[in-house]
Amino acid sequence: GHQLLEQAMNSFGLSHRAYHRILRLARTIADLAGAEQIQINHLSEAIGYRKLDRQG
C-alpha cells in the first residue's frame, strides 16, 4: 500500500498534505466498505478521486 502511495506522490507531484488527505479518504472508503484495514483497492480509489479533483 505504501509503495502505491509513494508512486502516486512521485508521478503526480503530490505534497505530504495530499498524501495524508488520500490516506484519510482511503480510510473512509474502507469504512464504507466495512473493511477493518485499508486495502490496495481503497487506496487506488482514493488516488483516482484525487486525480479527478486536480483536473478540475
Q: Give tens-digit pLDDT for 4-45.
A: 888 988 988 888 899 999 999 999 999 999 999 999 999 999
pLDDT for residue 48: 92
Evaluate whether 33 touches 26 at the Cβ level (below 8 Å): no
**pLDDT at residue 41, as a whole number:** 97
Q: Cα–Cα distance between 12 and 9 in angstroms, integer?
A: 6
Q: What pLDDT is attached to residue 30?
A: 98
Instruction: Give the per-residue pLDDT at 56.
Output: 60
C-alpha cell read off for 1: 500500500
What stretches of 1-56 adopt beta strand conformation (E)?
A: none
Looking at the chain, the number of H-run helices and the number of E-run strands are: 3, 0
- Domain ranges in the chain are 2-55
**pTM for the structure as a whole:** 0.82
Spatial neighbors of 51 by CB under 8 A, at least 6 apart, are: 12
> What local confidence, expressed as pLDDT, does residue 43 receive?
95
